[in-house]
Chains A and B, each alone.
Chain A
Amino acid sequence: MTGTPLTATAGARLPPLPVPVTPSLIVASAIATSDFERVHHDHAWVQSLGMPDIYLTIHVTNGFVARYVGDWAGPAARLRAVRLKLGTPAFPGDTLTFSGEVLRVTDGDGERRLEIDVRGRTANGEHVGAVVEVSVPVGAQP
């Protein structure tokens, strides 16, 4: 089992989350982040740069990483930090599948801190690798 933030120990795995990447998702999410770079909505433009298609923005990828960890950690959890490295782009037609593993658990100050390794992969390789830090209050059950 994957456990919860209050029961998980290092090595616990988060349930995978597949995200179908569509042109609509790429455009809607880019606009939701006020990112109007043409590589995220203008197909002809991005092809003129030698890329096959529009692709997901880094802040949206980060948003999915945050959602993925938050879905597991619950609404009582707080995101503290993220360190993220981008790999292969996520294009329309890709399925971006997130997986995660608890790296470290530390207690202190009435809260538990977890470091979670998150990977997002498409058929072309690793789109994102991230380490996310979340905290959960030790007293309150989610």
Chain B
Amino acid sequence: MANSADPAAPARAAIGHTVWPARVAREPVNQPMINAWCDAIGETNPRYRAGFAPAAMLPVWTMRKFTPDPARVEGMAILQPFDAAGYVGVAATNLEQEYLRELRLGERVTEEATLEAVSDEKKTALGSGFFLTILHEFRVDSGEVVGRMRFRILKFRAREMAATARPAVAAAPPGRLRPPVNRDNAFFWEGIAAGRLLVQRCTGCGTLRHPPGPMCPQCQSLEWDTVQSSGRGTLYSFVVAHHPPIPPFEYPLPILLVDMEEGWRLVANAFQIERPALEIGMPLAVEIVEVEPGFRLPFFVRAAGG
């Protein structure tokens, strides 16, 4: 990635946009997670044993789950240019939460996060860097907003850290093949890079189609636009590749064909779903994962209720 003069420019351009696809909590609000929170924090409020969740747990329900390989943890695409320019440090500095009502056992939380502001470069105790403010909105299945959170992070170049920047990637194993990008599918990969799953829509008859192509197979119109997918679908079919092993993929390698809920199909790898757990018809959701610095791909993960 080329370093522009201002590493914050791509982030500024993304203000007002979501920083990743909406996240659906894997588990509904539940007593075991509430108990773990209360045990750790020493909460003894009887209300948290009587069907209600601690308000401050608001962001916990949609937190990312553990993955043994830290390299596969998704980052925010908007942070990449900062990393590339040496601003590799990240620190949470401010947190604001607004609780519109209490969450009850059994409710499922969905979170949407929007980039709200990017500061000029500031000198701080940690080093020189940029503040980014992200607005998180939390809803339940009915669509009701139950809370909001404003999270400010500092993306900084630490004084010591700059000198001992991460070891070079020279020894890294071969990377993934990049998709061939052309005029038909550029929107799709640009969307993925920005954390959004887009699908092509014929503006003649409204039919969605994928993989992208120049002409609608239904009405032969050449006019099209794109819409953002919910990322949710159900497993239509799959294969598990065993041989020949091609770096850098890990085998056995499940390759899924998924009926998306808007009525199109998408092929992608599974993320953290082993072969025995795959069942035709199981609910899945797209998660966009940064597989290599600056390179993101869609994967399917288990969806809420799956």
Q: Which residues of A contact B (CB under 8 A)?
A: 19, 25, 28-29, 31-36, 38, 49-50, 58-60, 62-67, 70-71, 75, 78-86
Contact partners of A49 in chain B: CB under 8 A: 89, 158, 161
Which residue from A63, A75, A80 sits with its C-beta under 8 Å from B47?
Answer: A75
**Interface status of B141 (Cβ within 8 A of chain A):** no
Could you list 8 further interchain pairs (A-B, Cβ under 8 angstroms) beyond the known A60-B40, A79-B55, A79-B99? A33-B63, A38-B70, A50-B161, A60-B41, A63-B54, A67-B42, A78-B55, A85-B94
**Interface status of B176 (Cβ within 8 A of chain A):** no
B39:A28 contact, CB within 8 angstroms:
yes
CA distance A142 to B99 in the complex (A): 21
Chain B nearest CB from A28 CB (Å) reads 5
B41:A29 contact, CB within 8 angstroms:
yes
Question: Of residues 54 to 81 in B, which have CB atoms within 8 Å of A's CB atoms?
Answer: 54-57, 59-60, 63-67, 70, 73
Q: Can you show 28 pairs from A to B with CB atoms below 8 A apart? A: A25-B40, A32-B36, A32-B39, A33-B57, A33-B60, A34-B60, A34-B63, A36-B66, A36-B67, A36-B73, A49-B158, A58-B92, A58-B95, A59-B60, A59-B95, A62-B56, A62-B97, A66-B55, A66-B56, A67-B43, A79-B55, A80-B98, A81-B96, A81-B99, A84-B96, A85-B93, A86-B91, A86-B94
A50:B98 contact, CB within 8 angstroms:
no
**Interface status of B143 (Cβ within 8 A of chain A):** no
CA distance A110 to B55 in the complex (A): 21
**Interface status of B174 (Cβ within 8 A of chain A):** no
**Interface status of B279 (Cβ within 8 A of chain A):** no
Contact partners of B158 in chain A: CB under 8 A: 49-50
CA distance A66 to B102 in the complex (A): 14
Asked whether A70 and B60 contact (CB < 8 A) given A62-B95, A81-B98, A85-B94, the answer is: no
**Interface status of B263 (Cβ within 8 A of chain A):** no
Number of B residues whose C-beta is below 8 Å from A? Answer: 39
Closest to A58 in B: B92
**Interface status of B297 (Cβ within 8 A of chain A):** no
B65:A82 contact, CB within 8 angstroms:
no
CA distance A58 to B91 in the complex (A): 10
A84:B95 contact, CB within 8 angstroms:
yes
Chain A nearest CB from B31 CB (Å) reads 13
Contact partners of B92 in chain A: CB under 8 A: 58, 86
Contact partners of B33 in chain A: CB under 8 A: 32
**Interface status of B180 (Cβ within 8 A of chain A):** no
Which residue from B37, B65, B96 sits with its C-beta under 8 Å from A63?
Answer: B37
B54:A29 contact, CB within 8 angstroms:
no
Interface hub of A29, A34, A66 (most chain B Cβ within 10 A): A34
Chain B nearest CB from A86 CB (Å) reads 6
Asked whether A82 and B97 contact (CB < 8 A) given A34-B64, A59-B59, the answer is: yes
Asked whether A63 and B161 contact (CB < 8 A) given A58-B95, A81-B96, the answer is: no
**Interface status of B46 (Cβ within 8 A of chain A):** yes
B36:A31 contact, CB within 8 angstroms:
yes
CA distance A71 to B56 in the complex (A): 14
Chain A nearest CB from B41 CB (Å) reads 4
